[in-house]
Structure 1
Amino acid sequence: MISNDQATNFSAPAHLAAESAQPATLRQRRAVPGVSARGASYSARLAVSEQVQEDAFRLRYRSYLAGGFIEENALGLFRDHYDEMANANTVVLYDDATPVASVRVCLLARGTNYTSPAMDTFPTEVNSLLSARPNDAFSGRAIEVTRLVRSPHVENNQGLVFLLYRIAGYIALSHHTQIFLACVRSNHAPFYKRLGYSAASEPRPYPGLSCNMLLMASSRERYDHIRTTVPMMDPLAGTTHNLEGFYAGEAVQLQLTR
């Protein structure tokens, strides 16, 4: 468990993809202020089934619509062509049966045709990062963490952000990732800097959203330092060390533990 000081230093932006408001009774029943959800247990599922995929797309839609970053649509879903790619992995966190948060991880590798929103928006910058250290056996492997959203009735639960990064980190470690990418709005850059990221571009239009985003990148060395400093983010800490069924779509229990 991170300390109160660590929680303050690593607090996510309060409006990070928050969904539209839900009824007050639901907010009161499930809202968890700050990081006080210590000990709270959630389940994570990889979106390999249609139901989990739909849960992710509905979370995204309500989140980005509330922020004014997408237009309304009749289906109430937000998906794009990247979701259909073999290198994309979407995860949904559940509180009991209620979907509360989601993230998508796009894998990238030098010498492949893998792509992602970051690769298509910042091709020069991303290819430069992938081409560094050509003689390193594990260089040229990256992930982009994208479509990170939380429900409004848990918008004060900072722990969910760290759990999303923990499960994204598990995918990253499975991929032997050396480069971590995130495209963020400029006002979110300070939070990502505290997670070891640094700016790698100027803001540009980003696929699917009406706001400009800047590319931020982190190295494996910085990631390893941060995940050991903030155990809630560490995929090798707590109950996240054994996830054989995860890629098959089985539910995996995650807990905000030390």
Structure 2
Amino acid sequence: MNNNYVLNPCETEKEISDAIKLRYIAYRNVDAIDVNEEKTFKDKYDLLNNSKTCLIYEQGAAVASIRACVYSKEHNFMHIPAFEVYKEEIEKEIGLDKVIIEANRFVIDPAKVDSKHLFKIPFRFIMLNILKFSSDNIITAGRPKHVPLYRRFLGLEPISEPKKYPGINVEMIIMVGECKPLLKLVMEREEIYRFTDEEVDNYKFTPTMRKLPEGIQIEPNKQQKSIL
């Protein structure tokens, strides 16, 4: 991976704070959310044990963030955000008995949004989770204008009409991809998406956001840094 970037699962108070502040900046830049006094953006899914947020730093500054939400038997088939508005389409396309990784809350600093390389980096974290949980499918929601980009980049196909995504004032289309061919494609094409078996084994999916309405609390896991 480009040495200018550091990709960290959110495990320290600073990382969690940086992630929810960056979300706010990015979403406000496109009027996707309303103004709030805290200048942060978080939701109920940040509190769940099937959710993990990751942050990308460039020279000490937070420049991008993404969240992985896991739908699996291991997590008691706990719902993921996309189910709030696209569950019918997802059930029809892939069923609800599969392991699904949803990539969501993907944001980039408005000053860096034109960086094609930075766009790819957060998905290293998503690929790691796909491998960790042997996911059958990946889903993500994007604006209609971005559907061709996700099709080229990840081979994802749209399966819905534009709908308002949970928590933001923007209509998005849910896209889906089968993980096995997707992984083969992106690993052959992009070195940053390749992991050793040891790296996957050593990765621990530990939820970190707790009691956010009362304040940020953490469960540190410093070993994750060396993997990403």
Answer yes or no: is the 8 Å Cα contact 1:180–1:220 preserved in 2. Answer: yes
| Alignment pair present for 1:216 and 2:190 | no
Answer yes or no: is the 8 Å Cα contact 1:129–1:140 preserved in 2. Answer: no
| CA displacement 1:53-80 (0-9 Å, x = unmatched) | 1111011000000011111111110110
In structure 1, the partner of 2:225 is: 251
- Distance in 1 between the 2:170 and 2:112 partners? 24
- Distance verdict in 2 for CA 1:179–1:73, change over 3 Å: same
- Distance in 2 between the 1:47 and 1:105 partners? 12
Shift in Å, 1:233: 4.8
In structure 2, the partner of 1:158 is: 116
The amino acid of 1:131's aligned partner reads: G
The amino acid of 1:228's aligned partner reads: M
| Alignment pair present for 1:82 and 2:63 | no
Shift in Å, 1:47: 1.5
Shift in Å, 1:245: 6.2
Query: Among residues 207, 212, 220, which one is paired with 2:166 in the alignment?
Result: 207
Query: Among residues 214, 225, 242, which one is paired with 2:199 in the alignment?
Result: 242
Q: Quick check: 227-236 or 178-187, which moved more? A: 227-236
| Alignment pair present for 1:94 and 2:57 | yes
The amino acid of 1:163's aligned partner reads: I
In structure 2, the partner of 1:67 is: 30
- Distance in 2 between the 1:241 and 1:77 partners? 36
| CA displacement 1:61-103 (0-9 Å, x = unmatched) | 0000001111111111011001111101100011232111100
Q: Quick check: 108-117 or 92-101, which moved more? A: 108-117
In structure 2, the partner of 1:41 is: 4
| Structure 2 runs not aligned, ≥5 long | 206-220
- Greater share of helix: 2
Give the count of matched residue pairs: 209
In structure 2, the partner of 1:131 is: 95
Answer yes or no: is the 8 Å Cα contact 2:203–2:227 preserved in 1. Answer: no
Question: Whose radius of gyration is greater, 1 or 2?
Answer: 1
Answer yes or no: is the 8 Å Cα contact 1:166–1:232 preserved in 2. Answer: no
Query: Among residues 99, 114, 118, which one is paired with 2:78 in the alignment?
Result: 114
Give the RMSD, CA atoms, in angstroms: 2.4
- Distance in 2 between the 1:211 and 1:39 partners? 32
Instruction: Give me the TM-score of the superposition, normalised by structure 1.
Output: 0.73
The amino acid of 2:89's aligned partner reads: E
- Distance in 1 between the 2:135 and 2:191 partners? 19
> What is the identity percentage for the equivalent residue pairs of Structure 1 and Structure 2?
23
The amino acid of 1:180's aligned partner reads: I
Instruction: Give me the TM-score of the superposition, normalised by structure 2.
Output: 0.82
